[in-house]
Amino acid sequence: MTISFNDRVAIVTGAGGGLGRAYALELARRGARVVVNDLGATLDGTGHSDAALAVVEEIRAAGGEAMANGGSVTDAAQMAEMAAKAKEAWGGVHILINNAGILRDKSFAKMEPGDFESVVRVHLFGAAFATKAVWETMREQGYGRVLMTTSSTGLGGNFGQANYGAAKLGMVGLAKTLYLEGAKYNIRVNSLAPTAGTRMTEDIFPEEAFKAFNPESVVPAALYLVSDDAPTNAIVGAGAGVYQSAWLTMNQGTLLPEDQRTVEGFAAAWDRISDRTGDAVVQNGIEQSMHAMQMLQKAAAK
């Protein structure tokens, strides 16, 4: 079975290098027409270059179709203009990979408010603005595939990355409501936590690991998650050929009798409250209150 992207129009943000470039090249190789977005920033988000244009030239040289876009994901108007150009040229937008990113790593004690704000702006606001720019088109088409780039830092934390982790788990939160709102329009929304040797990680990975964690080994996960048969609401990890799934779960919890609903009562019940027996994946935010209602009803029926 070959997974094709013929007749699909894809936008990949931050595709002037690293992972985004690898996604754009493979999407184009498999038949998609690709908007290569990148403002060509340095790692901390400053500066400009023609990085997007270089990737478009690579795609064209290999016989594919692509257009460059130098807009910033932090500018909603530029994202709207990018989506409009793609639609005008190619008739629609079917796939969006929110991949653009920057880093301003510092311990929280040393992190300036500006460092926090710029990182959240690029990752979280950027993903929201780019998705907003294509959302109506996807709804009208009755087809859309959106991928959020999250991170192990968002899912588990990492020293020195409070800004980045907050933004990255925020993107999963965004995906979790968009998958619900998009479902009836055949819009599927997933999240991918990649690990790859790129300029973002070159100071962290030793040379051997840098090679093993090549961006190409993340590509299969990213492309499957934006393909026709993609799941929705998945959180996937990919790096060095290892592919994983992550979930947000909640346990069954316990119903405290009214006279125990005190700080001391809560403290005394902590072992039961934090017991993971019967953990279940949360599919919809409403489940928490429904579960509480069911427990109340069960208790009342006794």
By CB under 6 A, residue 20 contacts ligand NAD: yes
Q: What are φ and ψ of residue 85, in 5° steps?
A: -65, -40
122 near ligand NAD, judged by CB under 6 A = yes
Count of residues near ligand NAD by CB under 6 A: 34
13 binds ligand NAD (CB under 6 A): yes
User: Nearer to ligand NAD by C-beta: 73 or 162?
Assistant: 73
Look at phi and psi of residue 136 and say left if phi exceeds 0, alpha if psi is from -120 to 50, else beta: alpha
Q: Show which residues are catalytic.
A: 164
Q: Assess 163 for contact with ligand NAD (CB under 6 A).
A: no
Least distance in Å: CB of 246 to ligand NAD?
13
198 lies in the binding site for ligand NAD (CB under 6 A):
yes
Of 145, 175, 192, whose CA–CA distance to 3 is shortest? 145
Closest CA to 156 of 167, 147, 169: 169
Asked whether position 132 contacts ligand NAD by CB under 6 A, the answer is no
Q: With binding defined as CB under 6 A, does residue 191 bind ligand NAD? A: no
Q: Is 41 in the site for ligand NAD (CB under 6 A)?
A: yes
Nearest to 284 by CA among 230, 233, 237: 233
CB atoms < 10 A from the CB of 17, how many? Answer: 19
Site mask, ligand NAD, residues 57-76, x = CB under 6 A? ---------------xxx--
Please give the span between the terminal C-alpha atoms of the chain, in angstroms, as a whole number: 55
**Among 62, 136, 157, 199, interactor with ligand NAD by CB under 6 A:** 199
- If binding is defined by CB under 6 A, does position 18 make contact with ligand NAD? yes
Phi, psi of 187 (to 5 degrees): -105, 125
Q: Of 196-204, 249-257, 266-274, 283-291, which part binds ligand NAD (CB under 6 A)? A: 196-204
Q: Contact letters (x/-) for ligand NAD, 82-111, by CB under 6 A?
A: -----------------xxxx---------
Closer to ligand NAD by Cβ: residue 127 or 141 = 127
Q: Backbone phi, then psi, for 120, in 5-degree steps? A: -65, -35
Nearest to 116 by CA among 80, 156, 65, 167: 167
* Alpha-carbon span 148 to 115, nearest angstrom: 21
Tokens 């329009």 found at: 185
Cα distance between residue 43 and residue 103, in whole Å: 6
With respect to ligand NAD, which residue has the nearer C-beta, 93 or 143?
Answer: 93
Residues that bind ligand NAD (CB under 6 A): 13-14, 16-20, 37-41, 43, 45, 51, 72-74, 99-102, 122, 126, 149, 151, 193-196, 198-201
